[in-house]
């Protein structure tokens, strides 16, 4: 699993960072960024889904590694 974040949609609520700091960080402008390549370890998949469900801007998407 991989998380992707659309910076054009992100409004900087930082809910994703609050819910899953292992997967998201915040840049100097308050916009969220994915950490590294966005790869999600198996034990963090629940947090990744939580972040998607709690982003009010629908800026986060999950893709499955093929
Ligand atoms: S919750 Fe969504 S809108 Fe808010 S900082 Fe995270 S990605 Fe951006």
What length is written for the chain?
66
Q: How far apart are CA 66 and CA 56, in angstroms?
A: 28
Ligand 1, residue 5: give the atom nearest the CA.
7
Q: Give me the pLDDT at residue 13, please.
A: 86
Residue ranges covered by each domain of the chain:
2-63
Q: Give me the pLDDT at residue 46, please.
A: 98
Q: Which residues line ligand 1 (CB under 6 A)?
A: 5, 10-16, 32, 55, 57, 59-60
Q: Give me the pLDDT at residue 41, please.
A: 97
Tokens of 19: 């819910």
Is the pLDDT reported for residue 55 higher than 80? Answer: yes
pLDDT of 5-51, one tens digit each? Answer: 999 999 998 999 999 999 999 999 999 999 999 999 999 999 999 99
**pTM of the predicted protein model:** 0.93
Burial bucket for residue 64 (CB in 10 Å: 0-12, 13-18, 19+): exposed
Grouping H, G, I as helix, E, B as strand and the rest as coil, residue 24 is strand
Q: What CATH number should be reported for the domain whose range is 2-63?
A: 3.30.70.20
């Amino acid at each position: 699993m991989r998380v992707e974040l659309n910076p054009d949609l992100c409004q900087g609520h930082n809910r994703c960072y609050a819910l899953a700091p292992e997967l998201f960080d915040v840049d100097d402008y308050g916009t969220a960024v994915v950490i590294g390549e966005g790869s999600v370890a198996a034990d963090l998949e629940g947090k990744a889904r939580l972040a998607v469900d709690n982003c009010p801007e629908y800026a986060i998407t999950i893709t499955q590694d093929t």
